[in-house]
Every structure is written in C-alpha cells, then in structure tokens.
Amino acid sequence: MGGFAIGTTEFASMSMLPLFAQDLGIDAPTAGYAISAYALGVVVGAPVITVLGARMPRRALLVILMAMFALFNGLAGVSPSYHWMLLFRFLSGLPHGAYFGVGALVASSLVPINRRARAVGQMFLGLTVATVIGVPLANWLGQAVGWRWGFALIALFGVVTMGAIYAFVPKTPSDAHASPLRELGALKRPQVWITLGIGAIGFGGMFAVYTYLADILLRVTHVTLSAVPWVIGVFGLGMTFGNIIVPALADRALMRTTGGLLLWSAVVLAVFPFAAGNVWALGATVFLIGMGGALGTVLQTRLMDVAGDAQGLAASLNHSAFNTANALGPFLGGLTIAHGLGWTSPAWVGSGLALGGLMLWWLSVALDGSRRHRSARSLGGKAHDDGWHDRQRRVESSNPRRSATDRA
C-alpha cells in the first residue's frame, strides 16, 4: 500500500503536468521542474532521514515517514502558486527513499537469501500497480474535478498506509548496534557508489520520456485527452509485468540481468520517436519501456550485496539515485524540447543515458572480476567470492530469528 501511494504521487504528477501547468500559468518545460523538485526531495531526504532514524524500530519509522508523505501531498494540492507547488513537492519527496529503503529491508528479512530480489519485487509491485490503477485514477480525477483533487486522493492513500503498517507490519525492536556512523560506512565502498551511479544515469531515460508522455500523446500522436490515462496505464502494465518476471532472473544472475535491462532500455527508447506517430505502435513501445523499470528492484538487491553492515543507508540511497534520474531525465528532456528539437527528442536523451548506465555497469563487473582474481591469487588459486560468503554468514546468523518470526 505504501508503494502504491508513493508510486501514484511520483508518476501521477507527471501525467497531470498539462493540467497544473495550465492552472498555474506556466509552460510544460517549467512545470517539469515540479517533477524535479520532488526528485530532489528524495535525493536529500533518503540519506538524512535514514541516518537520523538508524536506531528507531522499523515499524515506527515507516509510520512517521508515511505521515510526512500524506501531509505534504495534501499541502501540494492546495498550493496557491507555482513556487509553493515547488516547495511542497520537494517536501513530499523527503520520506520517499527512506520509506522504500526500510521497507525493502523488512521484506528481504522475511525470506531466504535466494529469494530476496523476488521479495523486494513483491514490495515494489505496489509502485507498479500504482502506474496501472493509481496514476490513471488520479489523472482521471484531475481531469474531472481538478488536479488538486488528485493530490488529495494521494494524501488519503498515505493515511490508509499508516493504518495498514500499524496493523500488519511485525513489531521488531531496533538494532542495538545500529548507529549513524555505521550507516555512513556505506559511503566508503566504491561498489556502492558505482551501483548508485548506474541508477542515477541509466534510469534517467525512462523518466525523460514518461514526464512528457502526456504532451507527446496530445501534440504528436494527436489522441484525445481522455485517451491519455489509458496509455499511461499501458506503461504501468509494462512495469508490473517486468517486476514479476525480472526479479526471478536476478535471483539467478543479478549482474547479467542488470546489464540486460540497461541495454533493453537503450534500444526501446531509441525506437520510441519512430513509434510516436501511431497510438498502437507507441503503446507497444511504452509497454516495453515500462518493463525496464524493474531495474529499481535489481539494483536494490545489488546494494544489499555490496553495502556490508550499512544496509539501511544503502537501501534508501537507491531511491536517491533513481530520483536523481527523475530530476536529470526531465531536465535534459525539457532542454531538448525548449531548443526546438521536437517533443520526441527526450527519447534520444534517454537512450544515451541508458548507455551511460551500461558503461558504469561494465566498470562494476570489471571491478568484481579484478577482486576475485586477487582473492584467487592470495588463496593459492582457490577462487573466493567475499560477497557470497558475507551473504551466507548473514543468512546463517538470521535463520533463528527468521524461524521465530515464521512461528509467530
């Protein structure tokens, strides 16, 4: 439910961009900065809130984060001007990354290690279902009675989530060894930074296109306004389908799946401008672009592998990375539109960003190979994967607690 609420506000604001742009008296590229403001809030809030809340019980922290989410989304809906809208969108983004980071740790702690990606993917299904149901619903409501009511609906989702967390999330004590300093230890690990870079750059392409999808449909494809929510729903179906299929592949071959997703995104984004003139071709391409959204789940799992004992900060920084992409993609896409390169030009930007993420993926794989080679030499030829052994030790140490949780 929390993923559903957050997914609705993140993507519905993009689909409602033409509506609030007209009401607030601004053009589409300027309105796109409200999307970037939310993303900036995620980037700032994820590390700060996670570090400050390191010693809090996870259930209590999740409730507080969702209370912030509901409040600031409600205030965004009553924004009297564009600048107030920017402020409240920034504040709405603050709890996003920390919420998903803590939620991913809760989900992964309840399953065996070889099902972690699928567990995180199931939590992320709330976000993807939001793109199928929540976003079209908010968009329809915005068209019917005004965009402000779309944000009121999102705030209501936040309140419902608070009650659901309190009722259903297991109550566990805080980690006695947790501390802000331990969480900051994640920042000393090069592979953490590279993984975050893959998300920050490689995922920007999807946001570059999605932010302006409503305008592209109206100005290039020439569909009616009532058809926009349906195409947005197709994007959500692609994300949902990808988030069901891809995590199972990631549990078997995590890094190969990551590289495959980045290449997939680069190709389908390059195809998008050629499909934009026909609603059926565009719909199929949008579905394929949506499938690439499973990159979020895959990189969330990768960060758990490379973060050591600084799991909370690393998990939340994943969403800082993706919302850096959420800021970067619309910004660069808006620049190409503003300079007269056409409404479909953000797709070319997006394809280039996906290829940039692929280059960082290659660097990460190369560093892993170099480390394994050094370990093999130091052990007299016996190959050794420190990350694998670290994960096995975590599973062995957590099995008694997991068994107790299952019995409860």
Q: Averaging pLDDT over each range in 65-69, 150-154, 238-242, which range is the top one?
A: 65-69
Dist CA 50 CA 317 (whole Å): 9
2-402: which CATH topology? Growth Hormone; Chain: A; (1.20.1250)
pLDDT at 67: 94
- Give Cα separations from 325 to 11, 114, 191 (angstroms): 14, 29, 19
CB-based burial label for 2 (10 Å; 0-12, 13-18, 19+)? buried
Q: How confident is the model at residue 248 (pLDDT cuts 50, 70, 90)?
A: confident
Single-letter residue type at 80: P
pLDDT at 395: 43
Is the distance from CB of 223 to CB of 357 less than 8 angstroms?
no
Is the distance from CB of 203 to CB of 357 less than 8 angstroms?
yes
Rg of the Cα trace of the chain? 21
Q: Average model confidence (pLDDT) for the chain?
A: 80
DSSP H/E element including 249 = helix 228-252
- The pLDDT > 70 percentage for the chain reads 85
pLDDT at 236: 81
pLDDT in tens, 196-223: 899 889 888 888 888 888 888 888 888 8
Dist CA 153 CA 388 (whole Å): 44
pTM of the model as a whole = 0.71
Question: What one-character DSSP code corresponds to residue 175?
Answer: P
| Mean pLDDT within 106-123 | 79
pLDDT in tens, 335-352: 888 888 888 888 899 999
pLDDT in tens, 162-192: 999 888 888 776 665 655 666 666 667 788 8
- Pick the residue with more confidence: 260 or 119? 260
| Mean pLDDT within 70-92 | 88
- Pick the residue with more confidence: 363 or 323? 363
Is the distance from CB of 17 to CB of 143 less than 8 angstroms?
no
Is the distance from CB of 210 to CB of 228 less than 8 angstroms?
no
- The pLDDT > 90 percentage for the chain reads 15
Give residue limits of the domains in the chain: 2-402
Q: How confident is the model at residue 287 (pLDDT cuts 50, 70, 90)?
A: very high
Q: Work out the number of other CB atoms within 10 angstroms of the CB of residue 24.
A: 18
- Pick the residue with more confidence: 391 or 56? 56
